[in-house]
Amino acid sequence: MIGAVPQPTDRALSRWENEGGTAAAIARREEFPGLAGGWHYLDSAATAQKPQAVIDACTRALGADYATVHRGVYARSAEMTLAFEAARAKVAALIGGTADELVFTRGATEAINLVARSFPACGEKPRRVLLSQLEHHSNIVPWQLAGWQIDVCPLTADGQIDLDAAEAMLTTDFDMVAFAHVSNVLGSVLDVPRAAALSRKVGACLLLDGCQAAARMPVDVAALDCDFYAFSAHKLYGPTGIGALWGKPGLLAAMPPWQGGGAMIERVTFAQTTFAPPPQRFEAGTPAIVEAIGFGAAADYVQGVGVGAIQAHEAALVRQLRDELRGINAITLFGPEDSAGIVSFALAGVHPHDLGTILDEEGPDGTRVAIRAGHHCAQPLMDQLGVPATARASFGLYSDESDIAALLRGIERTRRIFG
């Protein structure tokens, strides 16, 4: 199994039971209303809790500031339009892009669907994409539905995308390489510069699924040399229902719209329609105005904390948790030691769903722990790991050592229950 770690010893309970540590949250937990009540939230890879600043921005946008954008000639509409486009610029700046390069979508899933549908074909041959064994379903199914020929790159023993294998597989027949920047299951981080160089060598474009990376580490699309970058707001401490696709301007300009309607047009007649330039070309209909404002507020919040600080904070928590879990002989760990904010594991004799259910029950100390349990929308990876599911703990900027302590207490309680 990929990333399986031998378990030589069995320690009774974590040292966090009795010792203080150093990895305090880098954002005040009280700023996140969803964390109230002694709840230890370790499911940020699925969706992050929202700071009050984002909630307030959405409330104002939906209430006192609300108006439509781009169409109104009255003052409030003009002001909302400015705020909407300012949010686009903030989100783009977070990953080192500019506003004219960033398309608002309903999420990273829609962003990848957009590229899969709109990327131009070359002649009669089917478009061909290289994916990896660890991809989220959202970076598999869109290519299937759009009729692409899919090749699959294997993984290394510790759960990294095997770029040596990718180099051997890639030929000039490929139009696209589409990899996760950070695995949502294993937390493994792609060597993007090398992936970009391999793509360039054969004339293929590189799309990165940045959902797990954008909230956890500094991203500079120019330095990464990718062609497309897809990510979602809700994993970045923003609202659901909105995400973004960053693309190189020349590529976006060459791609036709994949949905039609208002706002994405230049002129419409019954005989012919001409389309607006990107990014508006890909934003048919009234946009998610409130959500975009919230997305911008989340980008501000993350920038204020510092993405580099978040990366270092989560790395410390990952090291601590992996070290503790490694000392429990009933635990199997998956993925690399330096995983980014995510720790996947299995507890012998206990299905991850049962573990997740018990952790969510109130313990003797009155606390509850939320983890993810299942295939994490990565069933091909589960097949590779040889398990039906894993338990996944994932950190955020509000996580601290008390969350690790609560998780370890819950695991010990579960082991006693299953005897």
Residues serving a catalytic function are 377
DSSP state of 142: H
Q: Which residues contact 144 (CB under 8 A, 6 or more apart)?
A: 150
351 — phi, psi (to 5°)? -70, 140
DSSP structure string for 268-320: E-SS-EEEPPTTGGG--SS--HHHHHHHHHHHHHHHHH-HHHHHHHHHHHHHH
Residue type, 370: A
Residue type, 369: V
Q: Measure the CA–CA gap between 417 and 349, rounded to whole angstroms.
A: 11
Q: Is 252 exposed, middle or buried (0-12, 13-18, 19+ CB in 10 A)?
A: buried
Q: Measure the CA–CA gap between 398 and 418, rounded to whole angstroms.
A: 31
Q: Measure the CA–CA gap between 136 and 381, rounded to whole angstroms.
A: 9
Q: Measure the CA–CA gap between 45 and 318, rounded to whole angstroms.
A: 13
Q: Measure the CA–CA gap between 231 and 16, rounded to whole angstroms.
A: 34
Distances (CA, A) of 367 to 45, 210, 256, 305, 406: 21, 32, 52, 27, 7
Quote the Cα angle for 130-181-394, to 5°. 130
Q: Measure the CA–CA gap between 390 and 374, rounded to whole angstroms.
A: 6
